[in-house]
Structure 1
Amino acid sequence: MTTRSRTAGPILLAATILVGLMAGTFFIFACAVMPALSRSEDRVFVQVMRDINDVIQNPLFLLAFMGALLLSAAAAWQSRAEPHRWWTWSGCAAYALVFLVTVVVNVPLNDQLASATGSATAARADFEDAWVAWNAVRAGLSVAGLGLLAAALTVRGRR
């Protein structure tokens, strides 16, 4: 048994778990956090989002966020000659898009909100709709990535 084959299953499983955690994070924002905050007055909305964006930058979240990308890429690489490779590569690609959307869209919106100096109403107007829409994209892509990686685990387990 090669090193690759001994580590392939655990790496794919860990990638699937981490992508699942990220899917849950984006999902809960889409279906609970942001709808609840939408009921808040502008000042409260802006302050709570600033607080969330501050506290979410912690080692545990970063481990899951970065680990999902790195482990799904490692799992994809390890599966390159396996029957489940298309599932794994597709799951990795879906999560890579999540990562890209986060870095290119959501983080800059967070930074813009953090540095906004005008009224809370203007800051919210420049932030909320775009952030919510792109978070929904992240939620959908990460759920798809989770499903694809779970399918890879299933196909891999059948051999």
Structure 2
Amino acid sequence: MTNNRGGTAAGTVLGAATVATGLIAGVWFAYVCSVMPALARSDDRVFVEVMRNINDVIQNPVFFTPFFGALILTAIAAWQSRGTPAKPWALAALILYVAVFVVTSAVNVPLNDALAAASEPVRARADFETPWVAWNVVRAGLTAVGFVCLLRALSVRGAGDRGAR
């Protein structure tokens, strides 16, 4: 039994949003701490080839489900949390994830597309690596903070549930 708007279904949506956001935060973090530092050690041809391969294979349902799901589920969770202590946390997470979505769509994806179309590896890498890495750090940070906000939303939602028993 719960006193929060939407009851158990709202808690399930909030939990799913949290998991999806955490998965995407982990993807961006993996690039920050391992993928890009490893590729930085590679020559230009290898760097470009591997990034092109990554950009091709990441376009799959296993990635797209949490990537788009985090946005949709967090929006639903924010709407369902109106009138509860979880609302500001869910809303903050939504704003942060929208920013991640904008950065990805406006910066990282166009850089990926330019890399795919480039013919000269040295020039392609020079135009790609520094801005892509910097903006990936931004989206990793935004997603991680959004994940923490969703954890807090779950926490205050759960505290409200315990108080109603």
Q: Aligned in 2, Cα 1:150/1:69: closer, same or farther, shift over 3 Å?
A: same
The corresponding residue for 1:5 is 7
Alpha-carbon deviations, 1:22-60, whole Å to 9, x = none?
000000101100000000000000000000000000011
Name the amino acid aligned to 1:44. Answer: V
Q: CA RMSD in A?
A: 1.3
The two structures have a TM-score, normalised by structure 1, of 0.96
Q: Distance in 2 between matches of 1:15 and 1:93?
A: 13
Does structure 1 residue 83 correspond to structure 2 residue 82? Answer: no
Q: State the Cα deviation string for residues 102-148 of structure 1 (Å, max 9, x = none).
A: 0010000000000012x200000000000000000010000000000
Separation of aligned partners in 1, 2:102 and 2:23: 17
Percent identity, aligned pairs only? 56
Q: Secondary structure at the match of 2:10?
A: helix
The 2-side partners of 1:40 and 1:54 are apart by: 19
Kept in 1: contact 2:96–2:142 (CA 8 A): yes
Q: Does 1:46 align with 2:36?
A: no
Judge conservation of contact 2:5–2:82 (CA < 8 Å) in 1. Answer: no
Which residue identity does 2:110 align to in structure 1?
A: P
**Structure 1 spans left out of the alignment, 5+ residues:** none
How do 1:88-99 residues align onto structure 2 when only pairs under 5 Å count? Answer: 88-99=90-101
Runs of 4+ in 1 over 3 A off after TM superposition: none
**Structure 2 segments unaligned to the other structure (5+ residues):** 161-165
Q: Which residue of 1 aligns with 2:129?
A: 128
Could you say what secondary structure the match of 1:81 adopts?
coil
- What amino acid does structure 1 have at the position aligned with 2:41? R
- Counterpart of 2:150 in structure 1 is 149
Letter paired with 1:149: L
Look up the equivalent residue of 2:123 and give its one-letter code: A
- TM-score normalized by the length of structure 2: 0.93
Aligned equivalents of 1:112 and 1:94: distance in 2?
26
Whole-angstrom CA distance in 2 between matches of 1:21 and 1:45: 25
Q: Measure how far apart 1:6 and its partner are.
A: 3.2
Alignment size in residue pairs: 158
